[in-house]
C-alpha cells in the first residue's frame, strides 16, 4: 500500500458519516468542503470527497466566482488533484464567472504541469476537450497563453539594469508560457483561430510584441503558409502589425522572418495601406522599409516586353 492509499483510507473513515446534504453545503463564499480541501492542497481528502460527491452528481458545484473544485485545483496548480478530479468525472468544458475554462486559467497563469495533467488524464476517454472555447473576452486558451507570454516579453523590454534574479525569473516565466503554447497546440488548438473582438490570430498577437520566440514556433508549423497572410477585421496582416512597431529591438528580425516564411509585403489593409507605409521614421524603420520595398519589388509580376 502506498502512502497516498493509506491516507485515503484514513480520510475515508473521517468522512464516512457525511450526508449528501453536508457534502453539498456551501459557506458564505459558496465553497463546499471539497473546494476548501482542494485549495489547501489536501489530496487524499479531496479524493475521498470527490468520490462521494461524484456518486451524488454534485462534483461540479460552483462557488461565488463560478468555479468548481477542478477550477480551484487549476488556479492553484495542483496537477495531481486535477488528475484525481477528472478521473472521478469532473467536467473540463465548464466556465467560471469570466467565461474561462480550466484551459484558459492554465494558459493565463503558465500552469503547464496542470495543462499536461489534463491532456494526459483525458487522452482517449470521456468527452473531448474544447480547446477552442472562447472566454467572455473572445479569446481561446491559446490566445491567452500568447498574450501572457507577450506580457513577459514586454516586461523584459522595459527593464533597466535588471539583477540576475530578475533575469532568471523572467526567463523561467517565459519557458512556462511556451510550454503552455506547445501543450495546447499538441491538444489541437489552432494558432490560426481569430479572436472575436478584432479578428487577431496568435500570429498577429505575437507580431504585436515582435515576439521572435513565438513567431518562430508558429511559422515552423506545416500549415504556416495558410496563416501568415490572414487579415484581422481591419485588414492587417502580421506583417502590417510588426512593420508599424516603434523602437522594438527585434522588429527587423521579425520582419525578415515573416517575409522568409511567405508574408506578402504587397498586401493592403482596409485603409489601402501597404506594410511599408506604416513603418515609423528612424534608423530601425529605414531598415524595415528597405526590406519591405525590396521584397515587394521582387514579388511584383513582371510586365511583358512590348
Give per-residue pLDDT as tens, 32-48.
Answer: 999 999 999 999 999 99
Q: Is the pTM of this model over 0.75?
A: yes
Pair 215, 293 in one domain: yes
Pair 178, 204 in one domain: no
* Radius of gyration over every alpha carbon of the chain, rounded to an integer in angstroms: 24
The mean pLDDT value for 126-153 works out to 95
199 inside domain: yes
Alpha-helical (H) ranges within 88-140 are 102-109, 112-122
Pair 28, 117 in one domain: no
The mean pLDDT value for 179-189 works out to 97
Closest CA to 234 of 258, 198, 278: 198
> Is residue 215 within 8 Å of residue 252, measured between CB atoms?
no
User: What is the four-CA torsion angle of 145, 147, 153, 155, rounded to 10 degrees?
Assistant: -120
245 inside domain: yes
Instruction: pLDDT band for 300, please (50, 70, 90 cuts).
Output: very low
Give per-residue pLDDT as tens, 54-87.
Answer: 999 999 999 999 999 999 999 999 999 999 999 9
Percent of the chain clearing pLDDT 90 (strictly above) = 86
Q: How many helices (H) and strands (E) does the chain have?
A: 16, 0
The three cell numbers locating residue 115: 495543462
Give the range of the structural domain holding residue 41, as residue numbers without chain letter.
Answer: 1-12+23-91
253 inside domain: yes
* pLDDT number for residue 304: 39
Closest CA to 35 of 81, 80, 94: 81
Pair 29, 76 in one domain: yes
Give per-residue pLDDT as tens, 231-288.
Answer: 999 999 999 999 999 988 899 999 999 999 999 999 999 999 999 999 999 999 999 9
Instruction: pLDDT band for 126, please (50, 70, 90 cuts).
Output: low
User: What CATH number corresponds to the domain at position 245?
Assistant: 1.25.40.20
* 3-state class (DSSP) for residue 2: coil
275 inside domain: yes
Pair 180, 234 in one domain: no
**Structural domain total, the chain:** 3
Pair 77, 39 in one domain: yes
Pair 117, 77 in one domain: no
Residue 9 CA to residue 24 CA, distance in Å, equals 22
* pLDDT number for residue 17: 87
Domain boundary among 189, 210, 243: 189
Q: Determine the angle formed by the axes of helices 251-260 and 212-219, rounding to 10 degrees.
A: 10
Distances (CA, A) of 104 to 131, 246, 270: 9, 30, 32
18 inside domain: no
Amino acid at each position: 500500500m502506498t502512502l497516498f492509499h493509506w491516507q485515503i483510507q484514513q480520510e475515508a473513515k473521517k468522512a464516512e458519516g457525511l450526508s449528501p446534504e453536508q457534502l453539498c453545503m456551501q459557506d458564505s463564499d459558496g465553497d463546499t468542503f471539497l473546494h476548501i480541501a482542494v485549495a489547501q492542497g489536501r489530496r487524499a481528502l479531496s479524493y475521498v470527497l470527490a468520490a462521494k460527491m461524484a456518486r451524488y452528481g454534485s462534483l461540479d458545484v460552483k462557488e461565488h466566482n463560478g468555479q468548481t473544485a477542478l477550477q480551484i485545483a487549476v488556479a492553484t496548480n495542483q496537477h495531481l488533484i486535477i488528475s484525481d478530479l477528472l478521473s472521478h468525472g469532473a467536467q473540463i468544458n465548464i466556465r467560471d464567472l469570466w467565461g474561462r475554462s480550466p484551459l484558459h486559467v492554465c494558459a493565463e497563469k503558465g500552469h503547464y504541469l496542470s495543462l499536461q495533467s489534463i491532456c494526459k488524464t483525458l487522452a482517449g476517454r470521456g468527452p473531448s476537450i474544447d480547446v477552442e472555447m472562447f472566454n467572455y473576452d473572445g479569446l481561446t486558451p491559446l490566445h491567452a497563453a500568447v498574450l501572457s507570454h507577450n506580457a513577459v516579453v514586454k516586461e523584459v523590454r522595459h527593464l533597466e539594469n535588471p539583477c540576475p534574479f530578475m533575469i532568471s525569473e523572467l526567463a523561467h516565466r517565459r519557458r512556462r508560457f511556451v510550454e503552455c503554447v506547445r501543450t495546447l497546440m499538441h491538444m489541437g488548438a489552432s494558432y490560426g483561430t481569430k479572436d472575436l473582438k478584432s479578428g487577431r490570430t496568435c500570429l498577429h498577437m505575437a507580431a504585436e510584441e515582435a515576439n521572435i520566440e513565438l513567431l518562430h514556433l508558429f511559422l515552423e508549423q506545416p500549415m504556416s503558409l495558410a496563416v501568415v497572410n490572414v487579415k484581422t477585421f481591419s485588414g492587417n496582416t502580421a506583417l502590417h502589425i510588426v512593420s508599424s512597431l516603434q523602437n522594438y529591438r527585434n522588429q527587423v528580425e521579425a520582419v525578415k522572418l515573416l517575409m522568409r516564411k511567405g508574408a506578402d509585403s504587397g498586401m493592403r489593409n482596409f485603409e489601402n495601406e501597404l506594410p511599408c507605409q506604416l513603418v515609423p521614421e528612424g534608423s530601425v524603420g529605414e531598415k524595415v522599409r528597405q526590406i519591405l520595398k525590396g521584397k515587394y519589388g521582387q514579388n511584383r509580376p513582371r510586365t511583358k516586353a512590348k
